[in-house]
Structure 1
Amino acid sequence: MMNEIITSDLKQAVKDFSYLIENQYPRKTILKIISDRYLLNKTQRVLLGRGIFKKDEVEQRVRKRTESIRDKLVYIDTYNVLFILSNYLLGRIVFIGNDGFIRDAGEVYGKLHREKVFLEAIGYLLDYLGYTIPAQTIFLIDSPVSFSGELAIELKNLLIEKKVSGDARTIHNPDAEMIKISEGIVATSDSEILDESACQLCDLPYLILNSRFSPELPDLRKIRG
């Protein structure tokens, strides 16, 4: 599957796209032009659009990144983290952007958050938190998403069961809330939060998947622009 995604056309598209965004060309416009020029498929277009960033953006994210959450205050972008884990468990495309953060290929989520695999992803996440022992873990959950209240209750119960100090909160706009946080660690791969947050950044899906499965994922860092 890796060879079907990281083709010579995608590699050239990454190089062209990287050059043009560095030179301030409009991202959305050139994404379509380059994708069409190299006849990229839907998945490759997603990788290009969601996985390639300017050098200064990458450098800033790398500087803020940490892999140590032990004894730290951690805020989790709940659906962002759990959807990535769930998509991996379903065998869907999950990849590493040129900033080093894991993302999924943006497939339709539908009622994924009510599926068995979603519960499995929650289990992996809580097991990891129980093992790494952060000082406190705060789950931020999008309240407009169906069943978010039930998810918050479930996570609160699991925190108690796993003896992990923390809370689960439903919030109308978790992204805006996470950007405002001024201390602790933020766990997300959302580009806006990565850029705007003053906190350290943690790629929890990467840490969890690496500890459990050591997967070989499409890695856009290996394509030099």
Structure 2
Amino acid sequence: MNNRNRGKNTGDDVMFGSQKQVDKLKMAVQDMMYLLSRDYAEKASSELVGNRYKLKTRQIQVLRGASASEQQIQHRKNKQLEVSDLKNKILYLDGFNVLILMESLLSGAYIFEGADGCFRDLSGVHGTYKRVNQTQKAVELVAGFFQKAEVQKLVWIFDKPVSNSGRIKEIVLDFAEENKLNWEAELEFNPDKFLAENSEIAVSSDAWILDHCSKWFNLIAHLITEEKLDANLIKMV
């Protein structure tokens, strides 16, 4: 029986469940952003700040995901589109980024809102993708958005090197066929580079993609608001 979900890790409640821990993390993010805005390297900055606040590995992961320099934040905001901008447009969706984040959110895992307004989780693909109980619901939520926003076409991009990427591609395409949705799905060896260089509008919360793409849309933020999703959200800034 498949009872898999992407819920919290053991210890997450200790690291993120109290106001004291959240306040400490927020101060750490402020310090990290100060350093990044003065051109300190991300790795060195996160080590320095991590040591100062005695952060655990997963807390440092949150710190890095939530932080960006002032220049990066401004640059990302300048390229961000509203839902009203998407009508009759072709969107390229960062498949694993969006799916895993939605699965985590629907599983009750902690989700963190960063300085750029994007939401990030603590799950990762780690070389293999396993479908979970929330996968279907995540795809349905994307479909609802696709129809309401009157998007012309949605192209899902998955990492070819990840095992089971072909399987999730088929799941998405079968769902699209059943529901008569104008969707495509492609496997790419370097999806980040592909999304940054080949998409008019990227749908992702991956920092590198946001820094390098021409335009992007914050789908997770939109779905949380629009669908009133019940989520374990922590605002980091």
| TM-score, normalised relative to structure 1 | 0.87
Aligned residue for 2:205, secondary structure, equals: coil
205, 209, 212: which one aligns with 1:193: 209
Displacement after TM superposition at 1:150 (Å): 2.0
Partner residue of 2:152? 135
Partner residue of 2:162? 145
Higher deviation after alignment, 92-101 or 200-209: 200-209
8 Å contact from structure 1 (residues 126, 158) kept in 2: no
Structure 1 pair 29/201, CA: closer, same or farther in 2 (3 Å)?
Answer: same
Q: Does 1:65 align with 2:111?
A: no
Displacement after TM superposition at 1:197 (Å): 1.0
Q: Structure 2 CA distance, aligned partners of 1:145 and 1:182?
A: 21
Percentage of pairs with the same residue = 26
Higher deviation after alignment, 173-182 or 189-198: 173-182
Q: Structure 1 CA distance, aligned partners of 2:149 and 2:88?
A: 8
**AA matched with 1:3:** Q
8 Å contact from structure 2 (residues 127, 162) kept in 1: no
**AA matched with 1:135:** Q
**AA matched with 2:34:** Y
155, 161, 180: which one aligns with 2:178: 161
Partner residue of 1:176? 193
**AA matched with 2:93:** I
Aligned residue for 1:115, secondary structure, equals: coil
Q: Structure 2 CA distance, aligned partners of 1:144 and 1:108?
A: 11
| TM-score, normalised relative to structure 2 | 0.83
Aligned residue for 1:144, secondary structure, equals: coil
**AA matched with 1:191:** A
CA RMSD for the aligned pairs?
2.1
Displacement after TM superposition at 1:107 (Å): 5.8
Partner residue of 2:11? none
Q: Please, which runs of 5 or more residues in structure 2 have no aligned partner?
A: 1-16
Q: Structure 2 CA distance, aligned partners of 1:149 and 1:107?
A: 18
Partner residue of 2:93? 76
What are the superposed Cα offsets for residues 73-112 of structure 1, whole Å, 9 maximum, x if unpaired? 1000000000100111111111111011111124676866
Q: Does 1:212 align with 2:227?
A: yes
Aligned residue for 2:61, secondary structure, equals: helix
What are the superposed Cα offsets for residues 140-196 of structure 1, whole Å, 9 maximum, x if unpaired? 11112222222222212222333321211122221111111253x110011111111
Q: Structure 1 CA distance, aligned partners of 2:128 and 2:107?
A: 13
**AA matched with 2:63:** L
Q: Structure 2 CA distance, aligned partners of 1:220 and 1:21?
A: 16
Q: Does 1:88 align with 2:102?
A: no
8 Å contact from structure 2 (residues 25, 236) kept in 1: no
8 Å contact from structure 1 (residues 67, 207) kept in 2: no
Structure 1 pair 167/11, CA: closer, same or farther in 2 (3 Å)?
Answer: closer
Q: Does 1:32 align with 2:47?
A: yes
Q: Structure 1 CA distance, aligned partners of 2:195 and 2:158?
A: 11
